[in-house]
C-alpha cells in the first residue's frame, strides 16, 4: 500500500512532527500513518527508560548489557570488534523497542581533561572514523538506526551548551569533521546529532554551513539531523539551517513558531516538508523493533570476550605477566571488589550483572589474599594501607586495582593524577612486594609519573563494561593475550599536551590554537617525550615486521604490503599501523599521521602479509584557499610503526599530486604568478620588455630579488616606480590563463 505523503498534511500537523512526542520518542500521527520511534542512549548498551526520563543518568533504565565503552573499543583497534558491539547493542535495542541509538560518539579527544573522553574513541580521526563506521554498520544491520554525535567540535564539557569552539577550517576538516565524514559517507547512519556548542560563534544546531553545506551538500547525508537534548535555541533558525528534529518534545511553542514563520514568509514551507519527510522516514527501519523480547543472557560472555581485546598492556618487565598458575597473589584495591566499568551521565547503563576482578581471579584458580588498601569513600587510609602492605609481603605477586570514580558527562577533569592516597598505596606496596602489577580503571588518561618505575607491570583497563572483572582476569592470567594499543597519548605532564594553554577557554570561547597538531601529531612534530605514545601496547608474544613494499597504484593512491610474523611462543594479535610522513605542500604537516591499520591474529611462528590500500585522502591536506582536499606533488614516506614514535619500516614514494595550476587574481602574490605555467612566462616577458640583453641576464641570475618580491600582491607591485606593467597588461595575462 502506498504510504500517504506526510508533507501533504496541514502545516500545524507537520510542525508538530518536528519536535518529539515525549522525552525519548518522536511524535506519532495516525492520519499520516507515522508511528513514533524511540531514540535512546547508548551507545555501549541500551539505556531504555520507561518511567521517569532524564538525559543525565539519574533515573533508572531497563536492565541491558553494558558493553565496553568507546574508550575501550578505541584501544582495541579492532574493526570487527567495534561492529560486534554495534550488532549486540542493536539486538538489545530491538528487544527493548528502541528504533534509534544515540551514538556512537566520535568527537576527538582534544585534551585528556575532557570529561566525556570515555565516550569517545581516540585522539585520531582515522581510528575514530573507522571504528565508528563499523559500529554503525553493526547496529544498523539489526534494523536499528544510529545517531552519530556530537556534530561537531564538542571536545569539552565546560560551558558545553554555550562555548564557541573557535577552529580554523583546516583542523576542522582534517581533525574534527573527518570521523563524521567517513561514517556518513561510508556507513550511512540514520541520524546525526547536532552538538550543544557553537562553532566559530554559530550554534552547531543553527549552523547552516555545517548541517547543510557540508553534511548534506558535500557528504550527501539523507538522514535526520536531531538536536542534542535541549540543544535548540532559536527553533526557526535551527530548522532553516538544517536541524530536522528537536528533542526532547513535545514543544508546542516552538511548533507554533515554525507555523508562524512559514505564514509570515520567513521560512519556506519546502524546508518544513523536507524535514517532515525525513523524520517520518525514521519510522521505516529495515527491521521493525520487537519489544518485550528479553536481553540475551549470552551477551554477558560476549561482553567479556570483547572487553579483553580492549586491554592495553603498557609495561611488563621480566615477564611479570601473565601470572603463573598457582602463584600466591595479593589482590589489592577497592576497584578489585567494586569495579568501575562505565562512566556517568547519559550513557549510564543499568547492567544485567557485574563481574568483579577479585571473584574472576579466584574463579581462575589463583590463591588470593584480598586487601582494600584504600576506599574512594575516604575511610581511614592508613589502617587499610598497612593491611595491604602485609598482604603484599606474604604474596609472590601483588596486583593493585586503582582508578578513578566520578568521571561523567557535564564535567571536565582538572588534572590527570590518580587520587593521592592511591599513589601512596602503590608506592608502599611496590616497596615490599616481590612483584607489583598495577591495573588501571579510568575513562581518561592518568599520569603514571611518581610510581611508574617502582612497579613491574601496568595494565590499562580503561572502562571495560559489565564483564570487566572477567576480562581483566583473562588478561592477567594469560587466558587472553592482550592486544590493545593506545588510542591516545599518555603524556609525561599535562603541560606537554597541545591544548594545555587554551583548554577549556575563557569568556565563552575556546581557541583551538594548536590547529591540526592534536595528540601525537603535536608530540611527534615537536619531538616531545611522552610516557607512552599513541599506538603503544605490549603482548605476551613478540612480532616482527618485514618486507615492506609500497606501490603507487594510480592517481595519488598506493597500496602497502607488509609481512608480520609472530616470533614468540603464544598466539597473539598484532596491530599493523601505517603512517604517512611528508613535508609536501604549502602548509605545515604533522611529522606523521595514521593513514591505515589492521589487526591480525597469528599463531606462534605464523606470518601474514597484509595489504593496506592508501586512498588519495591518505596523502591530502585541506587547502582552505581552494576549498578542497589537495595532494601536493612531492615525496611521501610510508612508515610502519609499533606506535606513533617507534617506526620499524619505511619506504618513500613520489606522487604526481595535483598539478592543475591554482587560479590567479590581481591579488595573488607575484610568486604565484611566476609559478603559474601560463602566467609566469607572460609576466616575465612583460617585465623584461625593453630590457637590454645584459639586464635580462642579470634579472635571471638574481634569484634573491625574485624571492624578495614573491610575496607582493601583483596589484600593489604595479605601483612601484619603474614597473613597466599596467593593470590592463595583468588583466590580459589573466585572460590568457583562463
CB-based contact 375:384 (threshold 8 Å): yes
Half-sphere exposure of 220 (CA within 13 A, CB side): 6
Burial code (b: 16+ CB inside 10 Å, e: under 16) for 303-330 equals bbbbbbbbbbbbbbeeebbbbeeeeebb
* By CB under 6 A, residue 55 contacts ligand BGC: yes
Q: Which cell is 568 given?
A: 614468540
Terminus-to-terminus CA distance in the chain, angstroms? 55
How far is Cα 382 from Cα 431, in angstroms, rounded to an integer? 16
* By CB under 6 A, residue 149 contacts ligand BGC: yes
* Distances in whole angstroms, Cα of residue 488 to Cα of each of 83, 263, 491, 532: 21, 51, 9, 9
Q: Of all helices (H) and strands (E), which one includes residue 701?
A: helix 693-701
By C-beta, is 229 or 534 nearer to ligand BGC? 229
CB-based contact 123:487 (threshold 8 Å): yes
Q: Which cell is 54 given?
A: 532524564
Which DSSP category does 119 fall into?
Answer: G
The strand pairing partners of 650, in sequence order, are: 639
Closest Cα to residue 655, out of 580, 598, 593, 588?
580
**615 counts as catalytic:** no
Give Cβ neighbours of residue 13 (< 8 Å, ≥ 6 apart).
29, 31, 32
Would you give the binding string for ligand BGC spanning residues 544-573, x where CB under 6 A is met? Answer: ------------------------------
Half-sphere exposure of 477 (CA within 13 A, CB side): 22
CA-angle at 532, arms to 558 and 83, nearest 5°:
55
* By CB under 6 A, residue 41 contacts ligand BGC: yes
Chain-centroid distance of CA 496 in Å reads 20
User: Could you check whether the bond before residue 322 is cis, i.e. omega within 30 degrees of 0?
Assistant: yes
Query: In sequence order, what DSSP letters do the residues of 630-642 get, joined into one string?
Result: E--SEEEEEEEES
Q: Of all helices (H) and strands (E), which one includes residue 425?
A: helix 420-432
How far is Cα 607 from Cα 149, in angstroms, rounded to an integer? 39
List 16, 346, 466, 545, residue binding ligand BGC (CB under 6 A)? 346
Q: How far is the CB of 102 from ligand BGC (least distance, A)?
A: 4
Q: How many residues bind ligand BGC (CB under 6 A)?
A: 7
How far is Cα 586 from Cα 392, in angstroms, rounded to an integer? 58
Query: Beta strand pairing status for 509-511 and 145-151?
Result: unpaired
Which DSSP category does 678 fall into?
Answer: T
CA-angle at 93, arms to 87 and 99, nearest 5°:
105
CA dihedral 419, 425, 427, 431 (to 10 degrees): 180
Would you give the binding string for ligand BGC spanning residues 463-502, x where CB under 6 A is met? Answer: ----------------------------------------
User: Could you check whether the bond before residue 104 is cis, i.e. omega within 30 degrees of 0?
Assistant: yes
Residue with cell 561514517: 183
Burial code (b: 16+ CB inside 10 Å, e: under 16) for 335-344 equals bbebbbbbbb
How far is Cα 320 from Cα 322, in angstroms, rounded to an integer? 6
* By CB under 6 A, residue 229 contacts ligand BGC: yes
CB-based contact 656:555 (threshold 8 Å): yes
Q: Which of 159, 166, 228, 421 is catalytic?
A: 228
* By CB under 6 A, residue 228 contacts ligand BGC: yes
Sign of CA dihedral 112, 118, 120, 124: positive
The strand pairing partners of 401, in sequence order, are: 439
Closest Cα to residue 501, out of 522, 520, 474?
522
Would you give the binding string for ligand BGC spanning residues 302-341, x where CB under 6 A is met? Answer: ----------------------------------------
CB-based contact 112:444 (threshold 8 Å): yes
Give Cβ neighbours of residue 88 (< 8 Å, ≥ 6 apart).
65, 67, 138, 299, 302, 303
CB-based contact 579:548 (threshold 8 Å): no
Phi, psi (rounded to 5 degrees) for 225: -95, 120
Length of the chain: 738
* By CB under 6 A, residue 102 contacts ligand BGC: yes
Q: Which residue is nearest to ligand BGC (CB)?
A: 55
CB-based contact 34:293 (threshold 8 Å): no
By C-beta, is 157 or 181 nearer to ligand BGC? 157
Give the binding site for ligand BGC (CB under 6 A). 41, 55, 102, 149, 228-229, 346
Q: Which residues are catalytic?
A: 228
Amino acid at each position: 500500500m502506498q504510504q500517504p505523503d506526510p508533507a501533504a498534511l496541514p502545516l500545524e500537523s507537520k510542525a508538530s512532527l518536528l519536535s518529539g512526542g515525549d522525552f525519548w520518542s518522536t511524535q506519532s500521527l495516525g492520519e499520516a500513518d507515522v508511528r513514533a520511534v524511540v531514540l535512546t542512549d547508548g551507545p555501549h548498551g541500551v539505556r531504555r527508560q520507561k518511567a521517569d526520563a532524564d538525559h543525565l543518568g539519574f533515573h533508572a533504565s531497563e536492565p541491558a548489557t553494558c558493553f565496553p565503552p568507546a574508550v575501550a573499543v578505541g584501544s582495541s583497534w579492532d574493526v570487527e570488534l567495534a561492529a560486534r558491539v554495534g550488532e549486540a547493542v542493536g539486538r538489545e535495542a530491538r528487544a527493548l523497542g528502541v528504533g534509534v541509538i544515540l551514538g556512537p560518539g566520535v568527537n576527538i579527544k582534544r585534551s585528556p581533561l575532557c570529561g566525556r573522553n570515555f565516550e569517545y574513541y581516540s585522539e585520531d580521526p582515522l581510528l575514530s572514523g573507522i571504528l565508528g563506521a563499523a559500529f554503525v554498520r553493526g547496529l544498523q544491520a539489526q534494523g536499528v538506526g544510529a545517531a552519530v554525535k556530537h556534530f561537531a567540535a564538542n571536545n569539552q564539557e565546560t560551558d558545553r551548551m554555550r562555548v564557541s569552539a573557535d577552529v580554523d577550517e583546516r583542523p576542522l576538516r582534517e581533525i574534527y569533521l573527518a570521523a563524521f565524514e567517513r561514517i556518513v559517507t561510508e556507513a550511512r547512519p540514520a541520524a546525526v546529532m547536532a552538538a550543544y556548542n557553537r562553532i566559530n560563534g554559530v550554534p552547531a544546531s543553527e549552523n547552516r554551513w555545517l548541517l547543510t553545506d557540508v553534511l548534506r551538500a558535500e557528504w550527501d547525508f539523507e538522514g535526520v539531523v536531531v538536536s542534542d537534548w535541549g540543544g535548540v535555541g532559536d527553533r526557526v533558525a535551527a530548522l532553516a539551517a538544517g536541524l530536522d528534529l528537536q528533542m526532547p518534545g513535545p514543544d508546542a511553542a516552538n511548533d507554533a513558531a515554525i507555523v508562524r514563520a512559514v505564514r509570515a514568509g520567513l521560512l519556506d514551507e519546502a524546508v518544513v516538508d523536507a524535514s517532515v519527510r525525513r523524520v517520518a522516514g525514521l519510522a521505516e527501519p529495515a527491521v521493525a523493533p520487537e519489544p518485550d523480547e528479553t536481553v540475551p543472557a549470552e551477551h554477558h560472555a560476549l561482553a567479556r570476550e570483547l572487553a579483553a581485546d580492549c586491554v592495553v598492556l603498557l609495561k611488563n618487565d621480566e615477564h611479570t605477566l601473565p601470572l603463573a598458575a598457582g602463584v600466591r597473589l595479593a589482590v589489592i584495591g577497592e576497584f578489585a571488589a567494586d569495579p568501575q566499568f562505565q562512566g556517568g551521565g547519559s550513557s549510564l547503563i543499568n547492567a544485567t550483572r557485574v563481574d568483579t576482578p577479585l571473584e574472576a581471579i579466584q574463579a581462575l584458580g589463583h590463591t588470593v589474599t584480598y586487601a582494600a588498601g584504600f576506599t574512594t569513600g575516604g575511610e581511614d587510609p592508613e589502617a587499610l594501607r598497612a593491611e595491604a602492605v602485609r598482604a603484599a609481603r606474604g604474596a609472590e605477586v601483588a596486583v593493585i586495582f586503582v582508578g578513578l570514580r566520578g568521571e561523567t558527562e557535564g564535567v571536565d577533569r582538572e588534572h590527570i593524577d590518580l587520587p593521592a592516597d592511591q599513589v601512596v598505596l602503590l608506592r608502599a606496596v611496590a616497596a615490599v612486594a616481590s612483584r607489583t602489577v598495577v591495573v588501571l580503571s579510568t575513562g581518561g588518561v592518568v599520569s603514571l609519573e611518581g610510581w611508574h618505575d617502582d612497579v613491574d607491570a601496568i595494565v590499562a583497563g580503561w572502562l571495560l563494561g559489565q564483564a570487566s572483572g572477567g576480562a581483566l582476569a583473562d588478561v592477567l592470567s594469560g587466558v587472553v593475550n592482550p592486544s590493545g594499543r593506545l588510542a591516545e597519548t599518555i603524556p609525561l605532564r599535562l603541560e606537554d599536551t597541545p591544548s594545555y594553554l587554551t583548554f577549556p577557554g575563557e569568556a565563552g570561547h575556546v581557541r583551538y590554537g594548536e590547529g591540526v597538531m592534536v595528540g601525537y601529531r603535536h608530540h611527534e612534530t615537536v619531538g616531545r617525550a611522552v610516557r607512552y605514545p599513541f599506538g603503544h601496547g605490549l603482548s605476551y608474544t613478540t612480532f616482527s615486521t618485514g618486507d615492506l613494499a609500497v606501490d603507487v597504484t594510480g592517481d595519488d593512491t598506493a597500496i602497502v604490503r607488509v609481512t608480520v610474523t609472530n616470533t614468540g611462543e603464544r598466539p597473539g594479535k598484532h596491530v599493523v599501523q601505517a603512517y604517512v610522513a611528508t613535508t609536501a605542500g604549502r602548509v605545515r604537516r604533522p611529522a606523521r599521521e595514521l593513514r591505515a591499520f589492521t589487526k591480525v591474529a597469528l599463531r606462534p611462528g605464523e606470518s601474514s602479509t597484509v595489504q593496506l590500500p592508501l586512498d588519495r585522502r591518505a596523502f591530502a591536506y585541506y587547502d582552505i584557499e581552494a576549498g578542497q582536499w589537495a595532494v601536493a606533488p612531492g615525496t611521501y614516506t610510508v612508515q610502519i610503526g609499533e606506535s606513533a614514535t617507534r617506526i620499524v619500516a619505511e619506504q618513500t614514494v613520489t606522487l604526481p599530486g595535483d598539478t592543475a595550476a591554482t587560479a590567479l587574481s590581481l591579488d595573488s602574490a607575484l610568486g604565484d604568478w611566476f609559478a603559474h605555467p601560463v602566467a609566469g612566462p607572460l609576466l616575465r616577458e612583460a617585465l623584461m620588455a625593453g630590457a637590454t640583453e645584459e639586464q635580462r641576464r642579470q634579472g635571471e641570475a638574481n634569484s634573491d630579488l625574485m624571492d624578495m618580491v614573491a610575496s607582493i600582491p601583483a596589484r600593489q607591485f604595479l605601483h612601484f616606480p619603474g614597473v613597466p606593467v599596467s593593470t590592463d597588461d595583468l588583466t590580459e595575462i589573466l585572460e590568457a590563463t583562463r
